[in-house]
Amino acid sequence: MHFVRISIELILGFAALFLMTKILGKATLAQVTPFDFISAIVLGEFVGNALYDPNIGIGSIFFAIALWGALIYIVEWCTQKFRKTRGFLEGSPTIVIRHGHMDKLAMKKEKLDIDMLQNLLRQKDVFSVREVEHAILETDGSVSVLRKSQYDTPTQKDLQQPKKAVYLPYTLIDDGEVDWDNLKEAGLNEEWLLKSLRQHHIKSYKDVFYCDWKKDEGVFIEKY
């Protein structure tokens, strides 16, 4: 009965968390504020203890999840409704490099040392501060970088190249299974797919680890 109780509480808790993430939306999950981070740790600790404490029932788990979700929802509602609350509740971005020079006061305020800054810049494929004109420390801890013109990647406009249409790839086969919805959305059919596989000497979908299709480039296939 002990394992049955744990299984039931874990399944229901998982379902409640999944439902809450759907209600809160993707934007909330993508931008984790300090409030979200602390709340998630507290909630995780509570749910974990509740699973192994017979004195805490399913109702307590649901209450904790619902209250946490309500708090997150209220914070998001306040930041959308009242502009002045955004800086307090979500934090605000901080410029840590201005006109090619590091802002030492801003870095000190954000507890950001040079090593940490260099690590964040390398994640943006920037390997020297000399390449940066402006850098902004975002509220989620990442850094947005505006490079100096001489280090920036040239665009088609800079090279005076004609515009080229951009197409999204469609994943057609994933781990040996065909995504029929994507195949239909791409305007293709099973006969076309089989013909394309035969051109690559592949007899069955099961032999394909990954396959996608782009209108301007055709198919890309990775075999097992």
pLDDT tens profile 31-88: 555 666 666 676 666 666 666 666 766 677 677 777 777 777 787 777 777 767 766 6
The CA distance from 218 to 201, in Å, is 16
pTM assigned to the model = 0.59
Q: Which residue has the higher pLDDT, 157 or 40?
A: 157
Asked if 13 contacts 61 with a C-beta cutoff of 8 angstroms, the reply is: yes
DSSP state of 189: -
- Residue 91 CA to residue 224 CA, distance in Å, equals 47
Q: How far, CA to CA in Å, does 140 sit from each of 31, 69, 74, 92?
A: 6, 19, 19, 10
Give CA–CA dist 183/206, Å, rounded: 16
d(CA 23, CA 17): 10
Looking at residue 146, what is its pLDDT? 93
* pLDDT the model gives residue 192: 94
Supply the Cα-derived Rg of the chain in whole angstroms: 25
How far is the CA of 123 from the CAs of 136, 144, 159, in angstroms? 14, 10, 27
Q: What does the angle CA 4 – CA 8 – CA 68 come to, to the nearest 5 degrees? A: 145
Mean pLDDT of 131-146: 89
Token pair belonging to 105: 């006061």
What does the pLDDT look like over 178-199, one tens digit per residue?
999 999 999 999 999 999 999 9
Structure-block tokens of residue 72: 């997150």
